[in-house]
Amino acid sequence: MVAEGTLLWEPSDEIVAAARLTRYMEWAGRSGAYEDLWRWSVDSPREFWASIWEYFDVIGERGDGPVLDGTMPGATWFAGSSLNYAENALRRETGTAVVFVSEEGGRQELTWAELRDEVARVRAGLVRLGVGRGDRVAGYLPNIPQALIAFLATASLGAIWSAGSPDFGVPSIVDRFKQIEPKVLIAVDGYHYNGKSYDRSAAVNEIASELPSLRATVWIPYLTAAAEGRAPQQAEPTPSNTRELPHGEVIGWEGLRAEEGPLEFERVPFDHPLWILYSSGTTGLPKPIVHGHGGVVLEHLKSLAFHQDLGEGDVFFWYTTTGWMMWNYLVGALLVGATPVLYDGSATFPSAGALWRIAASEGVTYFGVGAPYIMASLKAGIHPEGLDRLRGVGSTGAPLPPEGFAWVAEELPGLPLGSFSGGTDVCTGFVGATMLHPIRAGIIPCRALGARVESFDPMGKPVVGEVGELVLTQPMPSMPVMFWNDPSGARYFDSYFDVYPGVWRHGDWIKINEDGSCVIYGRSDSTLNRGGVRMGTSEFYRVVERFEEIADSLVIDTGQLGQEGRLLLYVTLVEGATMSERLERDLCAALRRELSPRHVPNEIHAVPGIPRTLSGKKLEVPVRKILLGTPVEEAANPDAMANPEVLRHFTP
């Protein structure tokens, strides 16, 4: 075990002096401690966010309206301003803009000039299909250059982008896209994963048939081109893949980009919809979360430059699919002039160190993954090599235990690991790191600039040094401008503001320390409450998943208001391991010793897999519902899961 708070890394004077955050602080005349800067950013939000627009020289009309007007929900930002995300993302003209790497060894580079030209061509193609301001364009695409190009072309028109990964099932995609009524669907004929190719032609036809709003379906023959050794834009979809659809015309990607066109940008109001992201959809229809051009531009400029320390010359990698908000965050690297590395494939093919090898071969300077990948690297005994250009490592998606921090410090000495936590709801992190903060095991160094994060006790009072509900008591520009098809705002209100009036409740447990650092303990709606002692599930997983026999785990407390329930532990064993009496005894002893006697499980069950969302999050709440009697088909939507077949192992 590694003690929480163990010092693992400290920035040198040279690192602090070179940090982009330091330059901003000098420019703003605020060269004191970070906590002082954070306090100013949340006490004077109008001044702070106006400074972000000015410091990064955002392209657009600033307008003369107030920076911030009103309170949550319903606050408005930069009234009277106009801008366009794509115009700000494509402001550079020379150098490498984006790199693409595929699992099967393919690689493609686009210069800024080439990216701008491709965006202009696809923009012209969308115009020919009748796409304009406010129309929706949907992508059923892996993390390939065509997804980025199509998104930027859509944004340039003031149209609205929405994407789903091709590993999503048909009902899951239809549940999302049918709500937003897209005019154009752009889709691949298949994708590659874990050494295999998956044909999705039939799925695309099913999806398109369910979308009567479509004027056109654009096919990218990704698998066909790979089989022929050509780039996707050089192949046309085969007739067998494109049977006649009931809605609109069918064309290939080459047909979409065939004609040159001007690279123009429709400047739109600050809160004009840029993209629609979705909640997981595991327990109901996915919520269509709409973010605006202005909020995303300002938030990603601030976060990527000051918290990831990215700028021109940097190479940014984050392992993600187009169905997770981290894809949107990854491509935001263009805003600060950095080069995003797009990767399509498995994180562990042909071996567990696949992502580290990409970081080495592409000269990545900031490398980001989900917390489970770091823990998997630890368990697999990975020793990353060749990372001479790497300056930082990022982790998100789940709480990272202290042992994960310590592994990075041991294997990559001299590099900071920044653990971040936020959400799809704001497409950024509420809490994270900077190059000015020391890194301590299990600790997130700071609250993000402009994010007034607090911890509320059960009475709705802020607490320090205690675990409470993560709340935001002040708006951020990248909060949703609305949910799609929610004209009254009722669904939006119920999602964040139904517990504390005027305060955003995010649904995580957090402890904020005196110095502003914090610890995330998991979802507050899956709390363990044993004998009046509340505990986040992350603490439990830290103990259990340290055992080398255990690959994954899930803990459920079936207690209800006024009634103590059972504490059930489910474990997935590594290949070759068995659920022996010794292992069960050692698990219980470790939990009693390191947590409390109350947190020794009543039962331990070995299961073939732990249910997870398509973006890799453990499904604690749906499993709890199943154990309390909710039918499996009502507790979780299998099409929103990565492994729905395992749910049957959790029925009471």
Q: Tokens for 205, please give them.
A: 């036809």
Greatest mean pLDDT among 349-353, 372-376, 412-416:
412-416
**pLDDT tens-digit profile of 542-557?**
889 989 999 999 999 8
Q: What are phi and psi of 394, to 5 degrees?
A: -120, 150
Report whether pLDDT(240) > 80: no
Q: How far is C-alpha 503 from the chain's CA centre?
A: 23
348-to-217, 345, 354 alpha-carbon distances in Å = 33, 9, 6
**pLDDT tens-digit profile of 573-621?**
998 999 999 999 999 999 888 887 878 999 999 999 999 987 788 888 8
Residue closest to 439 by CA, chosen among 418, 423, 462, 454: 418
241 falls in which pLDDT band (50, 70, 90)? Answer: low
Report whether pLDDT(138) > 60: yes
443 falls in which pLDDT band (50, 70, 90)? Answer: very high
Determine the Cα–Cα distance for residues 524 and 471; give it in Å rounded to an integer.
11
Report whether pLDDT(243) > 60: no
Report whether pLDDT(412) > 90: yes
Average pLDDT over residues 265-291: 90
3-class DSSP state of 422: strand
Pairing status of strand 249-252 against strand 216-220: parallel
Instruction: Give me Rg for the CA atoms of the chain.
Output: 24
Q: Tokens for 264, please give them.
A: 């123009």
pTM flag (> 0.85) = yes
| Alpha helices in 386-453, H assignment, sequence order | 402-411
Determine the Cα–Cα distance for residues 619 and 617; give it in Å rounded to an integer.
6
Average pLDDT over residues 106-118: 95
* Predicted local distance difference test score (pLDDT) of residue 242: 54
H or E, element range at 568: strand 567-573
- Whether residue 192 contacts residue 129, with contact meaning beta carbons closer than 8 Å, is answered with no
Neighbouring-strand partners of residue 557: 567
* Predicted local distance difference test score (pLDDT) of residue 230: 62
- Whether residue 619 contacts residue 636, with contact meaning beta carbons closer than 8 Å, is answered with yes
Residue closest to 169 by CA, chosen among 145, 133, 202: 202
174-to-135, 180, 181, 204, 320 alpha-carbon distances in Å = 18, 10, 10, 10, 21
Which are the contacts of 35, defined by CB distance < 8 A and separation ≥ 6? 446, 515, 516
- Determine which of 51-65, 274-288, 331-345, 605-619 has the lowest per-residue pLDDT on average: 274-288
- Whether residue 95 contacts residue 101, with contact meaning beta carbons closer than 8 Å, is answered with no
**pLDDT tens-digit profile of 497-529?**
999 999 999 988 899 999 999 999 877 777 676
Average pLDDT over residues 5-20: 97
| Alpha helices in 44-144, H assignment, sequence order | 45-55, 85-89, 112-128
